[in-house]
Amino acid sequence: MTGSRCTVLLFMVWTLLILLAVTINTAIASEPQTVQSSQQQSSASYTSHPTDIWARIRGGFKLKGFDRRAVRHHEILYTRHPKYIHRIIKRSKPYLYHIVEEVEHRGMPTEIVLLPLVESAFDPRAKSKSNALGLWQFIPATGDSYGLMRNKWYDDRKDILAATRAALDYLQKLHMIFGDWKLALAAYNWGKTAVRRSLASSHQKGQPASFQHIELPSETRNHVYKLIAVRNIVAAPEKFGVTLDAIPDQPYFAEIKIRHTVNISQITKLANISIDEFNALNPAYNRGVIKIEDTPRILLVPIEKKETFFKNLKFYNRVFRPWRIFLAQNKPDTVESSRPHEIILTHLGVINDIKRDENMMPTSQMIPVPSRKRDIGANANIVRKKPVASNIVKRSENNDSENALTYIVKKGDTLYAIARQHGLTVTQIKYWNNNDENLSIGQELILMPDSPTVWR
């Protein structure tokens, strides 16, 4: 009995040891699988939500079937000048995210995102010999067909939102007509009627109706090859010895709706941006005044400046006076726009680009007029030449009051003029700035438009 019991106990211990060994081996074997699964999940997450816009663009490339030698020729030309590529990429930064969003939303190949690089080098003010204009190089007739408004005040062919919408509409229509993106791109450059004729001619000759076989101007064919060369460089920049500056996959600008005619200089002050920043995002405007007629206009500001704009708009409610539309009569020298002030017609002529013949203005002409006579001088200067960097009015970082602003003094400023501009008094400004009456260019003045601490 004793021997039998020992045998049973040994068997049980042996069984337990075997089970323990199997459990340990299973745990060890499963650990790498868990890590691998985690890595795969991370990779999939990166693919779905890349942090760099280039990865997202690469994921949507679809165009194939091109003459490799012809494309290679343009690859060499582009990569021979890396500084040129760097300059274009830097210029594209404000626009890429918006274009990618629109292209993906429509299910188009993301090679289309790179088309402005070939069309205009991402210069929204680029103009060709044929009068094509903007990022997408619309000629007037095509722009008119796709709802791009143009007048002496603005040209929507240069507008980032409107021109991008019109270009993608046009490309989609061309793709529906020809059923091939290569032919659609050729038609975008040469015109759909010309491509149709070439296709018909190719069909009559018994040749395939394809991009490779139809007759195209060398400029048009090379235009498409350039796009594919750029696509190849973006797809594998290291292969070509090119470094693409990282561009975040996130919005660059925000939209602001403007319902009243207003100075561009007022917009730059409210958003605390430079004229150059404004023009990069709003290149459609030809003058220093944004004229609003029946439909509001959409302005773009850097996304981090949208909150600044609306905060400053609240603080500036005393001095932010929109322009009014005035029905001009045929009077000799002045128009009585806002009693008791009269505005000189020569100033209005500068602002509105009115051609006067023998001191006569067209009867019943609608023209924008500032709400205050003293605004005229600055406005006229803005329109006579391209707008220059304005005085930046920003929230003060050194004052406890949340209403405080910092005004940077410019040439010609006086305490009285600054006080009137901001709806304040000279006494108040002196009180907030240690009773200093002497101004110097670049000096910072603390202003508190809504402060109740000092009499007005």
Q: Are 234 and 259 members of one domain?
A: no
Query: How is residue 430 written in tokens?
Result: 């002196």
Q: Are 324 and 373 members of one domain?
A: yes
Secondary structure tally for the chain: helices H, strands E? 17, 11
Residue 420: inside a domain, yes or no?
yes
Query: How is residue 151 written in tokens?
Result: 């007048």
Backbone angles phi, psi at 266, to 5 degrees: -65, -40
What's the rounded Cα separation, in Å, for the pair 73 and 454? 72
Q: Are 226 and 293 members of one domain?
A: no
Put residue 51 in one of left, alpha, beta given phi > 0 → left and psi -120 to 50 → alpha. Answer: alpha
Q: Are 168 and 217 members of one domain?
A: yes
Which of 384, 413, 437 lies at the terminal end of a domain, its last residue?
Answer: 384
CATH number at residue 120: 1.10.530.10
What's the mean pLDDT in 172-182?
Answer: 97
More confident residue, 138 or 259: 138
Note down the domain range covering 282: 253-384
What confidence score (pLDDT) does residue 431 get?
77
Mean pLDDT of the chain: 78
What confidence score (pLDDT) does residue 166 get?
98
Q: Are 106 and 213 members of one domain?
A: yes
User: pLDDT band at 420, cuts 50/70/90?
Assistant: confident
Q: Are 427 and 303 members of one domain?
A: no
Residue 104: inside a domain, yes or no?
yes
Residue 447, SS3 per DSSP: strand
Residue 36: inside a domain, yes or no?
no
Tens-digit pLDDT profile for residues 385-400: 333 333 433 434 444 4
What's the mean pLDDT in 312-332?
Answer: 59
Tens-digit pLDDT profile for residues 201-245: 999 999 998 999 999 999 999 999 999 999 999 999 999 999 999
Residue 7: inside a domain, yes or no?
no
What confidence score (pLDDT) does residue 409 get?
84
Residue 115: inside a domain, yes or no?
yes
User: pLDDT band at 423, cuts 50/70/90?
Assistant: confident
More confident residue, 7 or 90: 90
What confidence score (pLDDT) does residue 272 get?
94
Residue 34: inside a domain, yes or no?
no
Residue 310: inside a domain, yes or no?
yes
What's the rounded Cα separation, in Å, for the pair 78 and 64? 20
Amino acid at 89: I
Query: Which H or E element spans position 228?
Result: helix 218-235
What confidence score (pLDDT) does residue 374 get?
46
Q: Are 169 and 67 members of one domain?
A: yes
For the ranges 61-75, 80-94, 255-269, 422-436, the lowest mean pLDDT is seen at 422-436
Q: Are 225 and 84 members of one domain?
A: yes
What confidence score (pLDDT) does residue 243 get?
94
Backbone angles phi, psi at 328, to 5 degrees: -75, 135
User: pLDDT band at 87, cuts 50/70/90?
Assistant: very high
Residue 191, SS3 per DSSP: coil
Domain count, the chain: 3
Q: Are 234 and 263 members of one domain?
A: no
Active site residues: 119
What's the rounded Cα separation, in Å, for the pair 390 and 375? 14
Q: Are 399 and 351 members of one domain?
A: no
Put residue 361 in one of left, alpha, beta given phi > 0 → left and psi -120 to 50 → alpha. Answer: beta
In sequence order, the 6+-apart residues with CB closer than 8 A to the CB of 159 are 134, 148, 282, 283, 284
Q: Are 74 and 176 members of one domain?
A: yes
- Render 38-103 in DSSP notation, one character per residue: HHHHHHHHHHHS-SBHHHHHHTT-------HHHHHHHHHHHHT-HHHHHHHHHHHHHHHHHHHHHH
What's the mean pLDDT in 133-154?
Answer: 96
Which of 211, 240, 269 lies at the terminal end of a domain, its last residue?
Answer: 240
What's the rounded Cα separation, in Å, for the pair 248 and 55? 10
What confidence score (pLDDT) does residue 373 get?
46
Tell whether pTM > 0.85: no
What's the rounded Cα separation, in Å, for the pair 108 and 104? 6
CA angle 383, 385, 387 (to 5 degrees): 75
Q: Are 380 and 397 members of one domain?
A: no
Which of 240, 262, 287 lies at the terminal end of a domain, its last residue?
Answer: 240
What confidence score (pLDDT) does residue 28 get?
38
Q: In terms of Cα–Cα distance, which of 170, 171, 196 is closest to 181?
A: 171
Radius of gyration from C-alpha coordinates of the chain: 32
Q: In terms of Cα–Cα distance, which of 109, 75, 126, 97 is closest to 184?
A: 109
Beta-strand runs (E) in 303-363: 324-328, 334-338, 341-344
Tens-digit pLDDT profile for residues 31-56: 333 223 333 333 333 333 458 999 99
What confidence score (pLDDT) does residue 410 get?
84
What confidence score (pLDDT) does residue 160 get?
98
Residue 399: inside a domain, yes or no?
yes
Backbone angles phi, psi at 356, to 5 degrees: -100, 135
What confidence score (pLDDT) does residue 317 get?
59
